[in-house]
Protein backbone atom coordinates (compact mmCIF):
# COMPACT_ATOMS: atom_id res chain seq x y z
CA UNK A 1 0.00 0.00 0.00
CA UNK A 2 1.33 3.49 -0.89
CA UNK A 3 0.19 6.94 0.14
CA UNK A 4 1.04 9.87 -2.15
CA UNK A 5 1.60 13.19 -0.43
CA UNK A 6 3.11 16.19 -2.21
CA UNK A 7 5.10 14.05 -4.61
CA UNK A 8 6.57 11.93 -1.82
CA UNK A 9 5.68 8.25 -1.72
CA UNK A 10 5.45 6.49 1.61
CA UNK A 11 5.14 2.74 1.48
CA UNK A 12 5.17 -0.41 3.52
CA UNK A 13 6.48 -3.58 2.07
CA UNK A 14 8.44 -6.70 2.92
CA UNK A 15 11.45 -4.58 3.83
CA UNK A 16 9.64 -2.31 6.29
CA UNK A 17 8.69 1.36 5.85
CA UNK A 18 10.21 3.16 2.87
CA UNK A 19 10.13 6.66 1.44
CA UNK A 20 10.63 7.63 -2.18
CA UNK A 21 10.81 11.31 -3.17
CA UNK A 22 9.58 12.32 -6.61
CA UNK A 23 10.22 16.04 -6.82
CA UNK A 24 8.93 17.96 -9.77
CA UNK A 25 11.57 20.25 -11.19
CA UNK A 26 11.17 23.14 -13.57
CA UNK A 27 12.17 22.17 -17.09
CA UNK A 28 15.17 24.08 -18.40
CA UNK A 29 15.08 25.45 -21.92
CA UNK A 30 18.59 24.04 -22.46
CA UNK A 31 19.98 20.57 -21.99
CA UNK A 32 22.53 20.02 -19.23
CA UNK A 33 25.59 20.35 -21.52
CA UNK A 34 24.35 23.61 -23.08
CA UNK A 35 23.51 25.10 -19.66
CA UNK A 36 26.94 24.10 -18.34
CA UNK A 37 28.63 25.69 -21.34
CA UNK A 38 26.61 28.92 -20.96
CA UNK A 39 27.45 29.19 -17.26
CA UNK A 40 31.14 28.52 -17.93
CA UNK A 41 31.24 31.58 -20.22
CA UNK A 42 30.24 33.95 -17.38
CA UNK A 43 33.44 35.76 -16.58
CA UNK A 44 34.68 36.94 -13.21
CA UNK A 45 37.68 38.78 -14.61
CA UNK A 46 38.25 41.08 -17.57
CA UNK A 47 34.57 41.97 -17.84
CA UNK A 48 33.51 44.81 -20.12
CA UNK A 49 32.85 47.26 -17.23
CA UNK A 50 36.21 46.38 -15.67
CA UNK A 51 38.02 46.88 -18.97
CA UNK A 52 36.42 50.33 -19.41
CA UNK A 53 37.71 51.41 -15.99
CA UNK A 54 41.17 49.95 -16.62
CA UNK A 55 41.52 51.70 -19.99
CA UNK A 56 40.42 54.99 -18.44
CA UNK A 57 42.89 54.70 -15.56
CA UNK A 58 45.78 53.76 -17.82
CA UNK A 59 45.01 56.62 -20.25
CA UNK A 60 45.11 59.01 -17.28
CA UNK A 61 48.53 57.81 -16.14
CA UNK A 62 47.50 55.49 -13.31
CA UNK A 63 49.34 52.21 -12.97
CA UNK A 64 47.70 49.36 -11.14
CA UNK A 65 47.73 45.68 -10.28
CA UNK A 66 44.91 43.28 -11.07
CA UNK A 67 43.11 40.77 -8.84
CA UNK A 68 45.71 40.76 -6.05
CA UNK A 69 45.21 37.45 -4.27
CA UNK A 70 46.93 38.65 -1.08
CA UNK A 71 44.19 41.21 -0.38
CA UNK A 72 40.76 40.33 1.04
CA UNK A 73 38.11 40.01 -1.67
CA UNK A 74 40.71 39.91 -4.48
CA UNK A 75 39.96 43.49 -5.66
CA UNK A 76 39.55 44.00 -9.41
CA UNK A 77 42.02 46.92 -9.50
CA UNK A 78 44.65 47.83 -6.91
CA UNK A 79 46.48 51.15 -6.94
CA UNK A 80 49.32 50.54 -4.44
CA UNK A 81 50.73 54.08 -4.79
CA UNK A 82 47.41 55.51 -3.56
CA UNK A 83 46.63 52.60 -1.20
CA UNK A 84 43.30 52.31 -3.01
CA UNK A 85 41.34 49.35 -4.31
CA UNK A 86 38.54 49.42 -6.87
CA UNK A 87 35.80 46.84 -7.04
CA UNK A 88 33.80 46.76 -10.28
CA UNK A 89 30.61 44.94 -9.31
CA UNK A 90 28.02 43.44 -11.62
CA UNK A 91 24.60 44.66 -10.50
CA UNK A 92 23.01 41.20 -10.66
CA UNK A 93 25.80 39.18 -9.03
CA UNK A 94 26.34 41.62 -6.15
CA UNK A 95 22.70 42.56 -5.54
CA UNK A 96 22.72 46.27 -6.43
CA UNK A 97 19.76 47.59 -4.44
CA UNK A 98 17.25 49.62 -6.48
CA UNK A 99 18.98 48.92 -9.80
CA UNK A 100 17.02 47.87 -12.88
CA UNK A 101 19.74 45.31 -13.71
CA UNK A 102 19.23 43.48 -10.41
CA UNK A 103 16.15 41.30 -10.78
CA UNK A 104 15.78 38.12 -8.75
CA UNK A 105 15.11 35.20 -11.11
CA UNK A 106 11.66 33.65 -10.92
CA UNK A 107 13.04 30.10 -10.97
CA UNK A 108 15.23 28.71 -8.20
CA UNK A 109 14.58 31.94 -6.28
CA UNK A 110 15.84 30.61 -2.95
CA UNK A 111 19.06 29.31 -4.50
CA UNK A 112 19.74 32.62 -6.27
CA UNK A 113 18.97 34.69 -3.16
CA UNK A 114 21.38 32.55 -1.12
CA UNK A 115 24.03 32.97 -3.83
CA UNK A 116 23.61 36.74 -4.14
CA UNK A 117 23.33 37.29 -0.37
CA UNK A 118 26.51 35.24 0.05
CA UNK A 119 28.26 37.53 -2.42
CA UNK A 120 27.01 40.61 -0.54
CA UNK A 121 28.25 39.17 2.77
CA UNK A 122 31.65 38.35 1.26
CA UNK A 123 31.86 41.89 -0.16
CA UNK A 124 31.13 43.40 3.26
CA UNK A 125 33.76 41.20 4.93
CA UNK A 126 36.37 42.17 2.33
CA UNK A 127 35.60 45.89 2.67
CA UNK A 128 35.85 45.70 6.48
CA UNK A 129 39.18 43.89 6.33
CA UNK A 130 40.60 46.31 3.76
CA UNK A 131 39.46 49.37 5.75
CA UNK A 132 41.01 47.87 8.88
CA UNK A 133 44.31 47.61 6.97
CA UNK A 134 44.06 51.26 5.91
CA UNK A 135 42.97 50.83 2.29
CA UNK A 136 40.64 53.26 0.54
CA UNK A 137 37.80 51.39 -1.19
CA UNK A 138 35.99 52.53 -4.32
CA UNK A 139 33.06 50.47 -5.58
CA UNK A 140 31.80 50.99 -9.11
CA UNK A 141 28.61 49.35 -10.32
CA UNK A 142 27.98 47.96 -13.78
CA UNK A 143 24.99 50.31 -14.26
CA UNK A 144 27.21 53.34 -13.56
CA UNK A 145 29.40 52.35 -16.50
CA UNK A 146 26.61 52.33 -19.09
CA UNK A 147 26.90 54.92 -21.92
CA UNK A 148 24.44 57.37 -20.32
CA UNK A 149 26.38 57.66 -17.04
CA UNK A 150 29.94 56.55 -17.70
CA UNK A 151 31.35 60.05 -18.22
CA UNK A 152 30.17 61.31 -14.82
CA UNK A 153 31.23 58.09 -13.11
CA UNK A 154 34.78 58.24 -14.49
CA UNK A 155 35.07 61.96 -13.61
CA UNK A 156 34.03 61.11 -10.05
CA UNK A 157 36.57 58.29 -9.99
CA UNK A 158 39.32 60.67 -11.08
CA UNK A 159 38.37 63.15 -8.32
CA UNK A 160 38.33 60.36 -5.72
CA UNK A 161 41.87 59.33 -6.69
CA UNK A 162 43.37 62.83 -6.53
Interval 28-87: pLDDT, tens: 678 888 878 877 777 778 889 999 999 999 999 999 999 999 999 999 999 999 999 999
Mean pLDDT in the chain? 84
What are the extents of the domains in the chain?
2-39, 45-161
Distance (Å, rounded) from C-alpha 6 to C-alpha 59? 61
Query: The domain 45-161: what is its CATH number?
Result: 3.40.960.10
**pTM of the predicted protein model:** 0.76
In the chain, pLDDT over 70 holds for what percent of residues?
Answer: 83
Confidence grade of residue 142 (pLDDT, cut at 50, 70, 90): very high
Amino acid sequence: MSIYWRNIVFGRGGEGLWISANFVTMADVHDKATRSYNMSRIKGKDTKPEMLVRKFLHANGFRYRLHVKDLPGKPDIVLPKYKTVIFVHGCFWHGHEGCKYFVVPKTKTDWWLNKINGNITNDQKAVSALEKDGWKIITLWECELKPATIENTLKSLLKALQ
